[in-house]
Amino acid sequence: MHAVTIVDGSLVWAEREDPRPGRGELLVKVRATGVNGADLLQRRGLYPPPPGVVADVPGLELAGEVVALGDGVRRFEPGDRVMSIVAGGGQAELVVVPETSALRVPDAISDAEAGGFPEVFSTAHDALVTQAALVAGERVLVTGAAGGVGTAAVQLAHALGATVVASVRSPEARPAVVDLGADVVVDPADAANAGPYDVCLELVGAPSLVAALPAMTTGGRVVVIGVGAGARLDLDLLTVMGKRLRIGGSTLRARSLEDKAAVAAGVTRDVLPLVASGAVRVPVWATMPMAEAQEAYDRFAGGGKVGKLVLLAD
């Protein structure tokens, strides 16, 4: 098989040994695999995968067809369409996936959509539902709402019955975010004025969070998922105490198989029905061939996108 391979900070389309599924694992022929911000960091050598995961093939999600089964697999058969998060190595023609992480692809969505679904919707669901315990009627701020996790979070929060305020830097991107279900779309400079917020999903970083904190309600929950604009937060603990805030953060990548199985179960329960009904969709901004990953990453880094950039197999 071939795989996107990091060589001296660049990506090449290289011949690799075929992987073989172990016990409880699926071998998946990849049809589509989304690009995420973490992949760009990994290309630069800044975000190595956890121990035991192939280090020079990026890719945190994929969709495709089951082509072989390891021993003990119970829920899937060859020919099934599946999608999954992985800790790395997803941008390859063949990928091995634990069956507990695999999600069935709803008939309603294309391969490209499925390839861009797992990472952002798993992240958004884990952050909003599992960590922030968002409930209907609450008001949530999603910063950086035009990106991959942002577009997933806006739709999911809207479907859960929350009032969604989306902050989006690019004026051109704002109408698309309204179409996804945001009740209010604001410039980041105005985010604090559109509160108060029960929940803040922080996808931009410390400067954005500093502006949002004064707009949090008593008992408000903050979940930090992205820090591209800066990771050092000057936090006033008296504000945290006075408002009984909870500030948390998360990454999916380094979690245990058990934790990832729990994430997949939550997505299966809460999100896949919304995808099947069309209430939630995967906004695919662009597709490019997997063999052109180097150019695709550069395009991703250029910004201006709404939703996902997905690499396709031939």
Q: Which amino acid is at 237?
A: L
Write the binding mask 251 to 280 for its own copies: x where contact by CB under 8 A, - elsewhere: x--x--------------------------
Site membership for its own copies, residue 288 (CB under 8 A): no
CA proximity to 224, closest of 244, 208, 240, 241 = 208
Cβ-Cβ contacts under 8 Å for 177 (sequence gap 6 or more): 145, 146, 150, 151, 154, 166, 168, 185, 306
Tokens of 171: 């004026």
Look-up: residue for tokens 């901004």?
A: 285
Site membership for its own copies, residue 237 (CB under 8 A): yes
Site membership for its own copies, residue 41 (CB under 8 A): no
What CA–CA distances, in Å, run from 224 to 123, 126, 143, 250, 267? Answer: 11, 12, 10, 7, 19
Nearest-approach distance from CB 262 to its own copies, in angstroms = 13
Residue from 108, 136, 189, 231 binding its own copies (CB under 8 A): 231
Residue from 224, 306, 310, 311 binding its own copies (CB under 8 A): 224
Strand segments, DSSP code E, in 8-80 are: 10-15, 25-34, 61-69
* Nearer residue to its own copies within complex by CB, 4 or 209: 209
CA proximity to 156, closest of 223, 254, 214 = 223
Residue from 242, 273, 278, 304 binding its own copies (CB under 8 A): 242
Residue from 163, 217, 250, 294 binding its own copies (CB under 8 A): 250
Site membership for its own copies, residue 209 (CB under 8 A): yes
Q: How many residues sit close enough to its own copies to count as binding (CB under 8 A)? A: 27
* Cα Rg of the chain, angstroms: 19
Site membership for its own copies, residue 45 (CB under 8 A): no
* Nearer residue to its own copies within complex by CB, 245 or 271: 245
Look-up: residue for tokens 């996936």?
A: 97
**Interface residue list for its own copies (CB under 8 A):** 205-206, 209, 218, 224-225, 227, 231-238, 240-242, 244-251, 254
